[in-house]
């Protein structure tokens, strides 16, 4: 089992969701986050004065999957979120030792699916 965490551009979320649904991944957790990577923020002007915004709005997507879903999930996220410009985001893949479904007490692969 793997936990896939992806940081993406907020306005690409609908596209990513669509791609995930296409490969049958329907379960996810989405959080609004602030962060900065290589893009290093942008500047707004407010009443004529420049206002530098360093931490950008991003979306964090967390998806727990069984092994055979890892590759399709990564592909789907990449396909949905990629524009080719700085700021598209990153995907982190981590081992997931345990997973328990609260309602039934199921564990492991059954609980994820």
Partner 1 sequence: MFRKATKLRLSSIPLIALMVAFLASPLYADDAAANAKAIEGLQNNLNIVWTCVAAFLVFFMQAGFAMVETGFTRAKNAINIIMKNLMDFSIGTLAFFFLGFGLMFGVSNGFFGTTNFMITGALGDGTHWNYTFLLFQTVFAGTAATIVSGAMAGRTKFKAYLFYSVFICAFIYPVFGSWAWGGLLDGGGWLENLKAPFCDFAGSTVVHSIGGWLALAGAIVLGPRIGKYDLDGRSKAILGHNLNLAALGVFILWFGWFGFNSGSTTVGDGEIGRVAVTTNLSAAAGAVAAMITAWILFKKPDVSMALNGALAGLVSITAPCYTVTPMASVLIGLVGGVVVVLSVIFIDKVLKIDDPVGAVSVHGVCGAWGTLSCGLFNAEKVLGIGDANGGLLYGGGTAQLTSQLIGVGAGFLWAFLTGLILFNVIKATVGIRVTAEEELKGLDITEHGMEAYAGFQIFTNE
Give contact residues for partner 1 (rule: CB under 8 A): 10-14, 32, 34, 44-46, 57, 59, 83
- Closer residue to partner 1, CB minimum distance, 50 or 102: 50
CB of 84 to partner 1, least distance (A): 12
CB of 82 to partner 1, least distance (A): 13
CB of 31 to partner 1, least distance (A): 9
- Closer residue to partner 1, CB minimum distance, 45 or 104: 45
CA distances from 4 to 79, 92, 93, 108 (A): 15, 6, 5, 16
CB of 6 to partner 1, least distance (A): 14
Give the Cα separation of 47 and 101 in Å (integer): 52
- Closer residue to partner 1, CB minimum distance, 42 or 92: 42
- Closer residue to partner 1, CB minimum distance, 32 or 104: 32
Other beta carbons within 10 Å of 9: 20
CA distances from 14 to 43, 77, 79 (A): 25, 11, 12
CA dihedral 65, 68, 70, 75 (to 10 degrees): -130
């Amino acid at each position: 089992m793997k936990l896939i965490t992806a940081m993406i551009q907020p306005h690409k979320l609908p596209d990513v969701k669509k791609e995930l649904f296409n490969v049958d991944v329907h379960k996810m957790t989405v959080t609004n986050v602030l962060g900065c990577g290589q893009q290093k923020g942008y500047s707004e002007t407010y009443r004529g004065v420049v206002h530098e915004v360093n931490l950008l709005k991003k979306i964090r997507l967390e998806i727990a999957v069984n092994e055979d879903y890892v590759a399709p999930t990564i592909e789907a996220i990449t396909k949905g979120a990629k524009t080719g410009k700085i700021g598209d985001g990153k995907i982190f893949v981590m081992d997931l030792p345990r997973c328990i479904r609260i309602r039934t007490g199921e564990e492991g692969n059954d609980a994820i699916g």
